[in-house]
Amino acid sequence: MKIGPLPTELDLRSLAVRGAQVEGIVAEESLPRLRQAGIEMAGPVAAAFSFERDESGRYIVVAAIQATVLMICQRCLGPISLDLNARSNMACVWDDQEAVALPAGYEPLIVGQVANLREIAEEEILLAIPVSPLHAEDCGTSEQKAALESEPAAKKEVSDRDSPFAVLEKLKT
């Protein structure tokens, strides 16, 4: 089954009443906040949304977003490719007062009559990006490894010196 571009503006509440599902692809050009944040995409974003109503009558949106971003490893400063899989359970609300009253299992999704699914997908990607991306394997340079190996010797030198509190210990006896 071929999946096309993700629709932009839809009435999420009417989709929830029908129990609809929407899947689509979002091109990198359609994600301006990611570009502004300096995050490069390795391809299009795959997004799947399912809409339903819960037992309390809330309009629920379940979003599953898959994307691959290209970032800089904070250990070795080399390029790193990260696969992001974000999943969120959101409840449609009109304002902040309704958002505060939501149960703990739901994220608030403040929407009017229509919502932009591309913006929701972009927000989920921004929330899924790690603060300090690192390679899974040890990726330090030889200089970094040498500095880490010499660190225990430096700690030993500090511990061999007289403690500034040694004078207080002598006064105590």
Tell me the per-residue pLDDT of 5-58, one tens digit each, with 9 for 90 and over.
Answer: 888 889 998 999 999 999 999 988 889 998 898 889 998 999 999 999 999 999
| Amino acid at residue number 151 | E
- Of 173 and 133, the structure prediction assigns the larger pLDDT to 133
Q: Which residues pair with 93 in a beta bridge?
A: 110
Max Cα-Cα span within the chain: 84
Is residue 38 within 8 A of residue 24, CB to CB? The reply is no
Query: Mean pLDDT over residues 79-98, rounded?
Result: 92
- 2 pLDDT exceeds 60? no
Tell me the per-residue pLDDT of 101-148, one tens digit each, with 9 for 90 and over.
Answer: 899 889 999 998 889 999 999 999 999 999 888 887 777 666 666 766
CA angle, corner 94, sides to 88 and 96, nearest 5? 80
Please state whether beta strands 45-53 and 9-10 pair in parallel, antiparallel, or not at all (unpaired). Answer: unpaired
- Of 165 and 130, the structure prediction assigns the larger pLDDT to 130
Q: Give me the pLDDT at residue 51, please.
A: 95
Q: How confident is the model at residue 165 (pLDDT cuts 50, 70, 90)?
A: confident
Q: Give me the pLDDT at residue 148, please.
A: 63
- 164 pLDDT exceeds 80? no
Which residues fall within 8 angstroms of residue 123, CB to CB, at 6 or more apart?
33
Q: Give me the pLDDT at residue 83, please.
A: 93
Is residue 25 within 8 A of residue 3, CB to CB? The reply is yes
Name the phi and psi angles at 172, rounded to 5.
-70, -30
Q: Give me the pLDDT at residue 1, please.
A: 43
